Amino acid sequence: MTLVPPSCTFADLFWRRPYALLLLSPLFWAGNLLIGRAYGNALPPFGLAFWRWIVALAFLLPFVWGDLRAHGKEMRKHWPIIVGCGLTGFAGYPVLNYVALHSTPAATASMLNSTLPLMVPLLAWGVAGEVPSARTIAGIAISFIGVGIIVSRGDWSVLASFSVGLGEIIMLIAVACFALYCTLLRYRPAALPDGLFLFATMAASALALLPFAIFETAGGRGFPVQPYALASLLLIGLFASLIANAFWTQCVATLGSTLTGASFHLMAVYASVLAYLLLGEPIQPFHLAGITLILIGFAIAILPPRIVRSAPGIAEAVRRP
Percent of the chain with pLDDT over 70: 78
State residue 12's pLDDT score: 57
Model confidence at 216: pLDDT above 90: yes
Percent of the chain with pLDDT over 90: 23
Q: Would you kindly state where each structural domain of the chain is located, as residue ranges?
A: 20-302
State residue 312's pLDDT score: 37
Model confidence at 50: pLDDT above 50: yes
State residue 306's pLDDT score: 44
State residue 110's pLDDT score: 63
pLDDT digits (tens, 9 = 90+) for 232-261: 999 999 999 999 988 988 888 888 777 787
State residue 92's pLDDT score: 92
Give mean pLDDT, residues 201-230: 93
Query: Residue 262: exposed, middle, or buried by beta-carbon count in 10 A (0-12, 13-18, 19+)?
Result: buried
| 109 vs 34, higher pLDDT | 34
Model confidence at 91: pLDDT above 90: yes
| 20 vs 86, higher pLDDT | 86
State residue 268's pLDDT score: 73
Average pLDDT score over the chain = 78
State residue 304's pLDDT score: 56
pLDDT digits (tens, 9 = 90+) for 125-164: 777 677 777 887 888 788 778 777 776 767 777 666 665 5
What does the alpha-carbon distance between residue 162 and residue 158 come to, in Å, rounded to a whole number? 7
State residue 128's pLDDT score: 64
Q: Residue 95 — very low, low, confident or very high, per pLDDT cuts 50/70/90?
A: confident
What does the alpha-carbon distance between residue 209 and residue 109 come to, in Å, rounded to a whole number? 23
State residue 164's pLDDT score: 57
User: Is the pTM for the entire model greater than 0.85?
Assistant: no
pLDDT digits (tens, 9 = 90+) for 274-320: 777 876 767 778 777 877 887 788 778 766 554 334 333 333 333 33
Question: Any idea which of 75-84, 110-119, 202-211 has the lowest mean pLDDT?
Answer: 110-119
Rg (CA), the chain: 19
| 33 vs 85, higher pLDDT | 85
What does the alpha-carbon distance between residue 77 and residue 320 come to, in Å, rounded to a whole number? 35
